């Protein structure tokens, strides 16, 4: 069974006052999307795990621990981590994957709805 990791920002740490976010977005809606993505990954027969991190060094430590916990075939990085505001964090994520899971393909979704498709492009 292939292991797939879905990395995103912990919804409780999102700054909802950011004008680049869609109106009405909240932690509950983000969590619902995360849950839906995890179910879609599992439905494809993969051992799907989620890793929702805080946007700081502690979050990178959590990600590093998760990357070292299994041999991942693919790591999908959520869109909330790829915005200009989180560029430094995004770079840290890419470098952590490169160091701790060099065998893993890296994929990007456009929304939680296409997370499984993003992983499938590489698996």
What string of pLDDT tens digits covers the 123 residues of the chain?
A: 999 999 999 999 999 988 888 899 999 999 999 999 999 999 999 999 999 999 999 999 999 999 999 999 999 999 889 888 889 999 999 999 999 999 999 999 999 999 999 999 999
| Sheet containing 105-108: order of strands | 47-53, 3-9, 72-77, 105-108
Tokens of 101: 């899971």
Cα–Cα dist 118/89, whole Å: 21
pLDDT of residue 104: 98
Where are the strands (E) in 3-65, listed by range?
A: 3-9, 47-53
In Å, how far are 2, 4, 35, 62 from 31, measured between CA atoms?
24, 18, 6, 18
Q: What is the CATH number of domain 3-120?
A: 3.40.50
């Amino acid at each position: 069974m292939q292991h797939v990791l879905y990395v995103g920002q912990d919804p409780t740490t999102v700054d909802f006052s950011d004008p680049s976010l869609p109106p009405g977005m909240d932690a509950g809606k983000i969590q619902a999307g995360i849950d839906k993505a995890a179910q879609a990954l599992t439905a494809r027969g993969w051992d799907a795990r989620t890793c929702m991190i805080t946007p700081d060094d502690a979050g990178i430590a959590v990600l590093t621990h998760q990357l070292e916990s299994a041999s991942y075939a693919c790591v999908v990085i959520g869109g909330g981590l790829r915005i200009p505001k989180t560029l430094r964090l995004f770079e840290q994520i890419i470098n952590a994957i490169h160091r701790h899971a060099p065998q893993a393909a890296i994929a990007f979704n456009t929304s939680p709805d296409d997370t499984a498709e993003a992983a499938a492009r590489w698996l």
